[in-house]
């Protein structure tokens, strides 16, 4: 299996929390689904979904406390769904004071 090179310059944190993903499609109403937040960093996140989302789509990740806008950087099929890599709209958007997932592993992870 081919390893993906880690592109984030800051640490990411493994976690697990259900969040709402709103996907914006050109000339259509946004679509929403519930996804699992797998990991998060200051500039992006990895979401696990039952459905694919096209690379380049604008999205909004909605949590109980706040929301994060971004763009899909990749969507790849895994055994039981799709991993969706999201780059947040602005650098350093996420921090634990703004939103802390319920199941956050308090150890930064550099690679997968």
* Domain residue ranges of the chain, discontinuous segments joined by +: 13-94
The rounded Cα 104 to chain-centroid distance in angstroms is 14
pLDDT tens digits for range 14-63: 999 999 999 998 888 999 999 999 999 999 999 999 999 999 999 999 99
106 pLDDT band (50/70/90 cuts)?
A: confident
111 pLDDT band (50/70/90 cuts)?
A: low
- Examine the pLDDT at 4 and tell me if it is beyond 50: no
pLDDT tens digits for range 75-87: 999 999 999 999 9
- Topology of the domain covering 13-94: Thrombin, subunit H (2.40.10)
Please compute Rg for the chain using Cα positions: 13
In the numeric block, the tokens 């969706």 are attached to 84
């Amino acid at each position: 299996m081919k390893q993906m090179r880690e592109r984030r310059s800051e640490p990411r944190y493994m976690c697990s929390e259900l969040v709402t993903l709103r996907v914006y499609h050109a000339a259509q109403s946004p679509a929403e689904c519930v996804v699992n937040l797998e990991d998060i960093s200051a500039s992006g996140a990895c979401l696990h979904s039952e459905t694919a989302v096209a690379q380049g789509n604008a999205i909004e990740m909605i949590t109980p406390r706040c929301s994060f806008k971004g763009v899909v950087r990749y969507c790849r099929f895994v055994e039981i769904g799709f991993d969706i890599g999201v780059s947040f709209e602005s650098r350093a958007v996420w921090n634990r004071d703004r939103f802390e997932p319920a199941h956050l592993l308090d150890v930064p992870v550099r690679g997968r």
